[in-house]
Chains A and B, each alone.
Chain A
């Protein structure tokens, strides 16, 4: 089913999308998207949506299940508090991606902005994953409590020191894992974390994720996997346990 978003306010567009799904549509193509917010917000179930254009903020917020493929760039707050499902952006995206995300996957082909993957949580089998193809800004993985973040540093013309993430990386992190295909300097890191070489089981995970990402983006996994990866994990799951006088 095709929905033309040209000239539609987000409220009307999203109502049409919900109506189409209620009517039984499982494959939707939304054309002419130009900044409409909240697309796929709170949507549930086995639905596949292709977005042509640039969707506005909060794409896929509170989403539980659907797959959204964006043929264009994303804006801010993609996958806000997302629960399940998958969002694939064939371009770059803005700030605060995957805030409080607790499940599902978010793949960005290009670069991403500030505060990506913050407050991510995981619980038992539910592990959210964000993969950024290019580089990310400051506060990446801030207050991260679970899940997996992976930055590949592709097409960034590697800065001479190989940094692909900004400052205040993983500040307040107390759960989950960050993988970077590049380097990180000590001054960039929050004091709650430490850098390690990936272990055997990490490699298996990286390989699996990179293959899925490459497959979605039409890239060569083999080439990407040749790069050097590092792992960042918290040193404590209770970073502020000793802050108080009882």
Chain B
């Protein structure tokens, strides 16, 4: 069948600058750049995904990628991308697949919330000279604390549930070995260890070589139970039951057989080349009671030494669901908003299902407070955190900490081309091709991750100090430090914030 699909991008090669070194040819796994018989280099536009690998590595900066200009008669509904998708489906009959988070221009509530700062009264604190505490603990907190004082020493009598100690309120969100390369997994584990925070294995098991980072690893138990065994549960600081993911609420995951090579096969404990299917539901969980059973099954298996988290996608009824999860015995609830990323998801699901995490955090925090059970669980927010400002706003809305993943990938080199599902990631991240994954040096990638989070931590300290607060836990759920611009009354009600300029009471 003749394809009607036109290229999305156009490669512009400045022949004045090009030295025909063929770096671009070698760098592109999509085989965009080719050498012709006479030795000159040409590019096939239709294969380009705009990952910018060739542009970045061209030693003479001879390449630029531009949008392919083909005239589509001006139309607000039937845009070039809408037409392209229809042609793709008309030519294949397939479900449109994509990667990374929702790119549509839905409102980003972070950009409508402004932080407070101290002026004159309650003076701001200078974090360069004064202690600033970003440490926080995740896990179930007791209703009250009983202490015993004898002979000048104080002893805690209340038995406190196991807690995760975070030196920064930022963790690396679930990305499986399979979706991302071993080198990317190692970089995340090393950076998490150095930062005093945690990385999350996703549902792809834990490679044996990463067991040494166990104290900074959260392992996931998902519907497919890939690589879940006694050792896996032991080599973790916490366990996370994955119910849903922000990029694809209500549906499961299919890791295509192409990505299941020898190492992934061993870690997931499935044969080489077979599809790894994680269906939408855990077929043993149909109720809060069933969820509770899995939570306690994991607690029994690990003798109540590790907190158990339950990760859900932010959906319309997220507050009531979270209340159920808290009552089911979870120590942590991870809420993944609709801008959360993925290695592969149907485009229509990613772009149309779920709700923004900003609204979800506020709704869940409010609901749990109203019910008097907020202390029973920590809230971890995920889904498209772009900067330290987003993080601190999430904490002010009521989150205990956040998960970042897309930002972490970008730090390692990802250019958000959204082709993770092809396994041809030129940046060596979302691939299992040994030649490609070798491009990601774990030393450098770990350093870049460390730098990013350390920089965000410093910015958070500055913003906290500006508010006259010296501990991140004092900001948690303190929504008076947020004011809204350009939001409706209903939106502000859900967020629990006042409009900028409104008096305190």
Assess whether B293 is in contact with A57, with CB atoms less than 8 Å apart.
yes
Given that A99-B284, A174-B275, A239-B275 are known contacts, is A62 also in contact with B89, CB under 8 Å in the complex? no
Inter-chain CA distance A94–B309, complex, in Å, is: 27
Tell me if B228 is interfacial: C-beta within 8 Å of chain A: yes
Inter-chain CA distance A81–B275, complex, in Å, is: 19
Assess whether A143 is in contact with B256, with CB atoms less than 8 Å apart.
no
Tell me if B321 is interfacial: C-beta within 8 Å of chain A: no
Tell me if B297 is interfacial: C-beta within 8 Å of chain A: yes
Instruction: Give the residues in chain B near A99, CB-CB below 8 Å.
Output: 225, 283-284
Q: Which of B229, B266, B346 contacts A62 (CB 8 A)?
A: B229
Instruction: Give the residues in chain A near B230, CB-CB below 8 Å.
Output: 42, 44, 62, 64, 83
Instruction: Give the residues in chain A near B221, CB-CB below 8 Å.
Output: 81
Inter-chain CA distance A118–B225, complex, in Å, is: 11
Given that A96-B284, A121-B269, A246-B97 are known contacts, is A237 also in contact with B279, CB under 8 Å in the complex? no
Q: Can you list 14 A-B pairs with a CB-CB distance of less than 8 A?
A: A42-B302, A57-B293, A62-B229, A77-B284, A118-B283, A121-B226, A174-B275, A237-B273, A237-B275, A238-B275, A240-B275, A245-B94, A245-B95, A246-B421
Inter-chain CA distance A194–B96, complex, in Å, is: 29
Tell me if A115 is interfacial: C-beta within 8 Å of chain B: yes
Tell me if B434 is interfacial: C-beta within 8 Å of chain A: no
Instruction: Give the residues in chain A near B293, CB-CB below 8 Å.
Output: 37, 57-58, 77
Assess whether B300 is in contact with A14, with CB atoms less than 8 Å apart.
yes
Bitwise interface map of A from 38 to 76 toward B, beta carbon under 8 Å scored 1, else 0: 100110100000000000011001101000000000001
Assess whether A145 is in contact with B270, with CB atoms less than 8 Å apart.
yes
Nearest B residue to A172 by beta-carbon distance?
A: B277
Tell me if B254 is interfacial: C-beta within 8 Å of chain A: yes
Q: Which of B94, B226, B269, B274 contacts A242 (CB 8 A)?
A: B94
Assess whether A102 is in contact with B269, with CB atoms less than 8 Å apart.
yes
Nearest A residue to B303 by beta-carbon distance?
A: A18
CB distance from B479 to the nearest CB of A (A): 38
Tell me if A187 is interfacial: C-beta within 8 Å of chain B: no
Given that A61-B297, A115-B283, A118-B283 are known contacts, is A100 also in contact with B228, CB under 8 Å in the complex? yes
Instruction: Give the residues in chain B near A100, CB-CB below 8 Å.
Output: 224-225, 228
Inter-chain CA distance A141–B147, complex, in Å, is: 53
Assess whether A123 is in contact with B265, with CB atoms less than 8 Å apart.
yes
Inter-chain CA distance A100–B94, complex, in Å, is: 29
Nearest B residue to A239 by beta-carbon distance?
A: B275
A-B pairs with lowest CB-CB distance, top 6: A42-B301, A245-B94, A100-B225, A123-B269, A38-B300, A245-B92
Instruction: Give the residues in chain B near A139, CB-CB below 8 Å.
Output: 283
Inter-chain CA distance A10–B172, complex, in Å, is: 35
Q: Which of B91, B229, B296, B346 contacts A37 (CB 8 A)?
A: B296
Tell me if B88 is interfacial: C-beta within 8 Å of chain A: yes
Inter-chain CA distance A245–B88, complex, in Å, is: 7
Assess whether B265 is in contact with A121, with CB atoms less than 8 Å apart.
no
Inter-chain CA distance A61–B230, complex, in Å, is: 10
Tell me if B271 is interfacial: C-beta within 8 Å of chain A: yes
Chain B, interface residues (CB within 8 Å), range = 35 or more
Assess whether B271 is in contact with A241, with CB atoms less than 8 Å apart.
no
Tell me if B486 is interfacial: C-beta within 8 Å of chain A: no
Assess whether A142 is in contact with B297, with CB atoms less than 8 Å apart.
no
Tell me if A126 is interfacial: C-beta within 8 Å of chain B: yes
B206-245 interface (Cβ within 8 A of A)? 221, 223-226, 228-230, 233
Tell me if B422 is interfacial: C-beta within 8 Å of chain A: yes
Instruction: Give the residues in chain B near A244, CB-CB below 8 Å.
Output: 94-97, 346, 421
Tell me if B257 is interfacial: C-beta within 8 Å of chain A: yes
Inter-chain CA distance A244–B92, complex, in Å, is: 8
Known: A38-B296, A123-B270, A242-B94. 13 other contacts (CB 8 A): A11-B300, A37-B296, A41-B297, A41-B301, A58-B293, A62-B301, A81-B228, A118-B283, A121-B225, A143-B277, A241-B256, A243-B94, A245-B94
Bitwise interface map of B from 266 to 305 toward A, beta carbon under 8 Å scored 1, else 0: 1001110111010100011000000001001110111100
Assess whether B271 is in contact with A237, with CB atoms less than 8 Å apart.
yes
B97-126 interface (Cβ within 8 A of A)? 97
Q: Which of B226, B269, B275, B296 contacts A241 (CB 8 A)?
A: B275
A214-246 interface (Cβ within 8 A of B)? 237-246
Instruction: Give the residues in chain A near B225, CB-CB below 8 Å.
Output: 81, 99-100, 102, 119, 121
Instruction: Give the residues in chain B near A122, CB-CB below 8 Å.
Output: 270-271
Q: Which of B223, B298, B302, B346 contacts A119 (CB 8 A)?
A: B223
Inter-chain CA distance A239–B297, complex, in Å, is: 31
Tell me if A92 is interfacial: C-beta within 8 Å of chain B: no
Assess whether B277 is in contact with A145, with CB atoms less than 8 Å apart.
yes
Instruction: Give the residues in chain B near A44, CB-CB below 8 Å.
Output: 230
Inter-chain CA distance A41–B298, complex, in Å, is: 8
Nearest B residue to A38 by beta-carbon distance?
A: B300
CB distance from A11 to the nearest CB of B (A): 8
Instruction: Give the residues in chain A near B284, CB-CB below 8 Å.
Output: 76-77, 80, 96, 99, 115
Instruction: Give the residues in chain B near A96, CB-CB below 8 Å.
Output: 283-284
Assess whether A146 is in contact with B89, with CB atoms less than 8 Å apart.
no
Q: Which of B95, B233, B265 contacts A42 (CB 8 A)?
A: B233
CB distance from B471 to the nearest CB of A (A): 35
Tell me if A190 is interfacial: C-beta within 8 Å of chain B: no
Inter-chain CA distance A61–B298, complex, in Å, is: 9
